[in-house]
Structure 1
Amino acid sequence: MPDRASRPRRGRAAEAVGFRTATAAVTATAATAVLLLAGSAGPGGPSAAAPSGGGAVGAAAAPADPPDPGRVLQIVAHPDDDLYFMNPDLRYSIAAGRPVTSVYLTSGEADGVNAGAAEEATTPPDKAAYADRPDSLHGLWDGRVPRLESMFASGSPVRQGFTYTKDQVVRTLVGILERYGPTTVRSQDPTPGRFPDTKRYTDHQDHFYGARFVQVALGAYARDVKDRPHFAVQNYLGYFNGSLPGVLDPGEAGEKLDVLDTYAWTDRSDHCGSAAGCGDLKVADHPAGNHWSSSINYARGTSTSWLASDAQYGLWAFKVLDGRLAVWHRAGLLGAWSGPRLLPDAPGTLMDQGISTVTLGDGRIAVFGTRTSFGAGPGDYRREVVHAVQKGPGSEEFGDWAVLGTPETSDEDWTSDISAPAVALDGSGQLAVYVRDGSYTLRGRVRSADGGWGPWEKYGGADLHGSPAAGTDSAGRRIVLAATARSVLGWAQPEAGAPLGPATETGLPETALPITAQGRGNGVRLWLRKPGSGNVRTALVTADGGLKASGLTDVGGLSGFGAVTASGHLLAGRTSGGRLGADVGWGRVWERAPLMFVGAPSSTMTGTSTVSLAVLGLDARLYVTSAADAPDAHLAPWQPVGPPGTAP
């Protein structure tokens, strides 16, 4: 365990030299000095665990063949970041036998003393890690310093000092990616935003500038390395988890805290024989952090509308692989699946996780997402909304990406912190796209009858978090919903074709992120999770006589966290243990399918009597199943699409 000092969340000093220890070591030799946390390298994965709860649904939902379990690579700024912000996903992956490798860009060194606050009270308090300082990952990214110097952790195998540049960090990360060949890459949030009142970053600058280094490395890896598997990316919120409702149930939170207690060396037993100590005493005074042990939130990838059906009962799936939009297609009800096929994109850009689809009035599918562009210099970093439309109903071809831009004026203002888009088509055929902006309000653009898009409109609201959700009621009115830290806000058209109405309180209680909405009858059905429980809740939001929510109901579930997808009688989402849970018919016992996946599941009605469900596995492979849309139905066996370990 390297000697290390705290970061500002622990109220202690953080010297500039402390932000580069492990990066220097990684740059020196990726094979030797990268800090690793590896799980079992056995096959494990979906085929290794039996479904819990018994019953025919779990038995029927087993994958058709034992897939490659895939490989998970986590790249974080500091050695406790995966424990605080990616767990329990980390624990789930290891328990399932998935190979997991963690790479730490710095070892968090500051004063070089492994001691708690009471033992090292002479260290002055500081907020430096939030500041705009040149001698850091931020400064290296921006070019304010051309290189950083090395500082060695206790026990480091590196003995000779050296310096390293921005390009060397990127090339080293590319080398690590090439060596481990991950199918899932976990990273921190590259665009965490600022607090609206103080304009301070909401996260540690190492977290999000480290994540930007990862983005550049992933782009180079996808472009230059051909002998590799496809990969998906999952980004995680950092410090801001402490300002949101807790996500994990008490049992899961307790398991997470147990791991942090071990990391913090709370028992003080000398079980390692290291002069530096057997844990991180800088977190020993408060291993739970700022409520981080009771939560986990994905920064992106929570959309549940990426699976779509067409008039010929075909299915289309849209996810991001290798930084580009991947398309899978099943022709008709009984046709064979094809894909993934990667759509071309502009050089110097990466598609972000979080794809939403909508079927236009003529039957074509429109696909919306955001993409990150890096530009010629660090100030050119930008995230913008883009969309592509099928060239014809059922066509395999899509038009070029059209850029809808961003409501943000520059990356410096809000760190390009716009959400994934929510889209909806109203009864007049008017299409609209909505995002949460960096100041936590709702923004949107509406397409006019001539096909042109209006400007980014301001729809207000405050304290919005996550991505908005949108649906259309039976009267053709768009209803938009967004979670706050205390409730849910809503907006509705008074009639189809009219402008969106004002932000309205729904009166719903606080909810864990994210939320899902779907047009159902005379309103929009909202799906959400109970904080500190993981139970799934639902309410109907209507617009007649003003926007209001009614009928809040707890429909249970198997705990867990993340987005819930709903179509017909089907509900599905991530359960405790990280596996997919499904309920085909409300009131029945939820069953776990032995599948671990990236982001959120998606479902859609295929015709009027069949519901289809899909996930993207940790092996970057699409898995699909279906069931009759009836309360006594069962899911068909899961079908993997394409061979395991598919190369680009």
Structure 2
Amino acid sequence: MPRSALSPFRRGLLLAAPIAVLVGITGGTLAVTTGSSDASDVPSRGIPEAHAVKPVRTDGEAVVQVMAHPDDDLFFMNPDTAQSIASGHSLTSVYLTAGESDGRNARRQDPEPRADKAAYAEARQNGIRAAYAEMATGNRTSPWDRTSIATAGGGRAELDTLRAHPRISLVWLQLREAGSITGDRPHSLHGLWDGRVERLESQLAAGSPVRDGFAYTKDETVKTLTGVLERFTPTFVRMMDPTPGLNDRTGKLSDHQDHMYGARFAQAALARYAQRPGRPAFAVQNYLGYSTGGLPHVLDPRATEAKLRTLKTYAWWDHTDYCGDPAGCGDRKVAARPAGHGWAQSVRYARGGSASWVQRGAGKGELYAFSVLDGRLAVWHKDGAAAWTGPVLRPGAGLDPGVTSVRLPDGRVAVFGTRTDLDGEYRREVVTSVQSAPGGQFGAWRSLGTPERDDEDATSDIGLPAVLVDRMGLMTVYVRDGGHTMSVSAQRADGGWGPWRPAGGRDLRGDPVAVTDAAGRGYVFAGTPRTVLAWTRPAAGGPVTGPVPTGLPATTVALSAAPDGAGGVRLWFRKPASGDVRSARFAGTGRASAVTDAAPGGVAGHGAVAASGGRLAARAGSGAVAASSAGGPWVTGRGLFAGAPAAVPAGFATLGLDGRLNWSPWER
């Protein structure tokens, strides 16, 4: 199919829009955002006017990444980091700890040098600066300006700005690291979060312009991060997974304790920052850490090669003195294994990857789109041929990235997600909001609780809910729990919800997905490292049975499902180490038909695929959205986006990193 034949990427005239919305053309798709300040109090349909909070408009995207260590971004967030650098927009990477480890900058097979934590911290900084400079300019020696800035927590931080691209910044908070992946280290982010130490001391890099040490309390650490957010006003925040769960074999944390508790400090800072007036709205993306190495590889060979090249620059692979610093030009510990433990071959979102966040409403052509901005549910609305309006932010903070939605038989829409409680004991729970009537207002958030006993048992590690709806409109919610099995809660006839109960499965990863075919048969799918499992419900209703083996090969875990228009359903997934989109058909049982490629050419990206009526939208290797219509070739747009696309018969949507809804009608 020629490029001009697919309407989502054609440029068109700027159409007139209602006062509450401005419709523009961005990267070939319709970008929907709030309009003038005079329209800021106009609520979207279905949202009470008293609750119609409009996010502050911004003129462009600004990304802030928060990591515990130098290299967390390169191992676990790339290629997303490199794509943000290539976009030309603002990117700020914030490192909580100095990453000083044992102070020995050497591979294990090298002679053991004298321990010097300040020098090793400096060498890691040099490696990060070289890696970012190379990604931005092609030259690892492109100069940086290093300055000392005051923090809101009462200490000082180092701010580095790339001279050739001053919108690229590095912020070094230089707190002491744990020095152990899971060991008992009270003087750490973990110990500070749990109150085992009153203050956590700094560890300054040898060449840092910050010369005087300091120590932060838990609250001062949150204040410091909040101050960084206020300085750089992000529209999109990347961070590690605050609930990585436990290793099934050892019972210990599946990720580095600094990753987990650094992410929790970031969560707390974002919750505080969300209360600040006058800033742009922001979305959040969580990344899986160490455990991604034990799952099928995600990236295609070309993307892996580029990621590994950046890691080798950071690792000071050639060991030449190109930086002129006696501390060293990079992290020689990483030079022993620059791909990590399978980390260079993958990137995975811990949550926020749902492809079911756009939903049909009750009216003809009526659509709703849902996302999470400022930790609250953001709602856009489209009434038939009218333009999109919104977003408006629903009351209720603490929502985690990513929501899913379902349409009930009477036309009402229900939204599901998870919410984190930071005020008391750390706890994540499943929540839902349902329209009071078709086309009406969304009700208050209702908690369905959690299948987890407490945070300590499995770090509150639950996935995004998948939901089946029966013909009576009763819903059943499926959640991947911290034991990597399925848990289920069913709605009762009186509208209440039953307790969480086990539904089987083993070694489940990612988020389950649910779909109902034209005959009313229900399917729930969940990935494992080796295959996909299925749970099925007969058309006449009754209990869901399973899990049963689908017969599918390994996937990259991110799944989506949709009716196929021929009485069955299709499950969509990515081929490991390629990113190519594939599908399998199901018709009445949990056994899959033959696996087929989705469209010619492939897109070599990652994440869930949005599908509707044989039309597809997915993340391409460039980070932009790609679309395929009726089996035609993939056509790629421009601009980065959060999470996964969502598709309905009228078109597909993405959420830009600037917080705008991008809508693309399908070709008719």
The answer, yes or no, to whether TM exceeds 0.5 is yes
Q: Whole-Å Cα distance in 2 between the matches of residues 232 and 455 of structure 1?
A: 31
SS of structure 1 residue aligned to 2:655: strand
How far is the alpha carbon of 1:336 from its aligned partner?
2.9
Question: Among residues 2, 7, 10, which one is paired with 1:60 in the alignment?
Answer: 10
Q: Whole-Å Cα distance in 2 between the matches of residues 560 and 197 of structure 1?
A: 31
Question: Among residues 90, 101, 105, which one is paired with 2:96 in the alignment?
Answer: 105
How far is the alpha carbon of 1:127 from its aligned partner?
8.6
TM-score (norm 2): 0.81
How far is the alpha carbon of 1:116 from its aligned partner?
1.8
Whether the aligned pair in 1 keeps the contact of 2:532 and 2:554 (CA below 8 Å) is yes
Question: Among residues 515, 535, 554, which one is paired with 2:597 in the alignment?
Answer: 554
Whether the aligned pair in 2 keeps the contact of 1:478 and 1:496 (CA below 8 Å) is no
Task: Tell me whether 1:115 sits opposite 2:115 in the alignment.
Answer: no
Could you list the structure 1 runs, at least 4 aligned residues long, displaced by more than 6 angstroms after superposition. none
Gap runs ≥5 in structure 1? 1-51, 606-610, 634-648
1:3 maps to none
1:255 maps to 306
1:565 maps to 610
Which one-letter code corresponds to 2:10 in the other structure? Answer: A
Question: Among residues 581, 584, 592, which one is paired with 1:536 in the alignment?
Answer: 581
Whether the aligned pair in 2 keeps the contact of 1:356 and 1:422 (CA below 8 Å) is yes
Q: Whole-Å Cα distance in 2 between the matches of residues 529 and 226 of structure 1?
A: 41
Q: Deviations over 1:503-543 (max 9, x none)?
A: 11111000012010123343321000000011100001233
Question: Among residues 203, 212, 217, which one is paired with 1:151 in the alignment?
Answer: 203
How far is the alpha carbon of 1:360 from its aligned partner?
1.0
1:477 maps to 521
Whether the aligned pair in 1 keeps the contact of 2:559 and 2:573 (CA below 8 Å) is yes
Q: Whole-Å Cα distance in 2 between the matches of residues 477 and 600 of structure 1?
A: 26
Q: Whole-Å Cα distance in 1 between the matches of residues 240 and 614 of structure 2?
A: 35
2:293 maps to 242
TM-score (norm 1): 0.84
How far is the alpha carbon of 1:118 from its aligned partner?
2.2
Gap runs ≥5 in structure 2? 13-23, 32-58, 116-177
Q: Deviations over 1:391-419 (max 9, x none)?
A: 22112x21111100100000000000000
1:424 maps to 468
Alignment of 1:183-582 (within 5 A): 183-223=235-275, 225-310=276-361, 311-331=363-383, 333-345=384-396, 349-376=397-424, 380-395=425-440, 397-520=441-564, 521-543=566-588, 546-556=589-599, 557-582=602-627
How far is the alpha carbon of 1:129 from its aligned partner?
2.2
Alignment of 1:150-189 (within 5 A): 150-189=202-241
Q: Whole-Å Cα distance in 1 between the matches of residues 406 and 105 of structure 2?
A: 54
RMSD after superposition: 1.9
Q: Deviations over 1:75-95 (max 9, x none)?
A: 001010000000000111111
User: What number of residue pairs does the alignment pair up?
Assistant: 560
What's the % identity of the aligned pairs?
52
How far is the alpha carbon of 1:282 from its aligned partner?
1.1
SS of structure 2 residue aligned to 1:293: coil
How far is the alpha carbon of 1:112 from its aligned partner?
2.1
Q: Whole-Å Cα distance in 2 between the matches of residues 110 and 585 of structure 1?
A: 53
* CA spacing shift, 1:61–1:83, aligned 2, 3 Å: farther
How far is the alpha carbon of 1:130 from its aligned partner?
1.1
Q: Whole-Å Cα distance in 2 between the matches of residues 405 and 480 of structure 1?
A: 21
Q: Whole-Å Cα distance in 1 between the matches of residues 310 and 11 of structure 2?
A: 32
SS of structure 2 residue aligned to 1:616: strand
* CA spacing shift, 1:350–1:74, aligned 2, 3 Å: same
Q: Deviations over 1:207-253 (max 9, x none)?
A: 01000000000000001x11110100011000011000000000010
* CA spacing shift, 1:341–1:626, aligned 2, 3 Å: same
Which one-letter code corresponds to 1:64 in the other structure? Answer: I
Whether the aligned pair in 2 keeps the contact of 1:428 and 1:496 (CA below 8 Å) is no
Q: Whole-Å Cα distance in 2 between the matches of residues 59 and 321 of structure 1?
A: 26
Q: Whole-Å Cα distance in 1 between the matches of residues 2 and 286 of structure 2?
A: 31
Whether the aligned pair in 1 keeps the contact of 2:515 and 2:522 (CA below 8 Å) is yes
2:64 maps to 73
